[in-house]
Amino acid sequence: MIKVGDTLPQVTFSLRENGENSNPTTAGLFTDKKVVLFAVPGAFTPTCSNTHLPGYITLADKLAEKGIDNIVCLSVNDAFVMEAWGKSHNAQHITMLADGGAEFTQAIGMAKDTGTFGGVRSGRYSMLVENGVVKLLNVEAPGKFEVSDAQTMLDSL
């Protein structure tokens, strides 16, 4: 599993913004930037929709005041789902990034197989990434939501 001090793996993601598709890379998203990345098991799921994403939306301005260039929400969903989920929460200040094939999630050791419930998904975590290097990592225990929330990240900065 990825740890503090590791460089993020180079992968290509899917992103849909304003009705347009793009394929940003790890380098494009994280090089020369200070980024908060948080990952959720699935868009539109209860904890993700009711607490995790809304917390980052609420604190986006305060995170920016601490020098954060971008906030990225990642899930093993497709780009259309991520765009729709972001729109449903007015998450215009969050990059709703799709790791549809779980390439990134598997490469950092955060994949979990939920079987017929949803297949391969991401574990829940947050990280602070500076110029592509992990500076802070908060990984949740299975079924928990205690350390990857926006307030914990803000307090850590």
Distance of CA 47 to the CA centre of its chain: 14
Which amino acid is located at 62 in the chain? K
pLDDT per residue as tens digits for the range 105-122: 999 999 998 878 777 999
Residue 73 is a catalytic residue: no
Residue 90: strand, helix, or coil: coil
Query: Per-domain residue ranges for the chain?
Result: 15-156
Fold of 15-156: Glutaredoxin (3.40.30)
Q: Is 146 exposed, middle or buried (0-12, 13-18, 19+ CB in 10 A)?
A: exposed
Catalytic one among 48, 57, 98, 127? 48
φ/ψ of 56, rounded to 5, equals -70, -35
**What digits encode the pLDDT tens for the residues 9-66?**
999 999 999 989 999 999 999 999 999 999 999 999 999 999 999 999 999 999 999 9
Burial class from Cβ neighbours inside 10 Å (0-12, 13-18, 19+) for residue 47 reads middle
pLDDT, average across residues 82-90 = 97
Residue 92 CA to residue 105 CA, distance in Å, equals 24
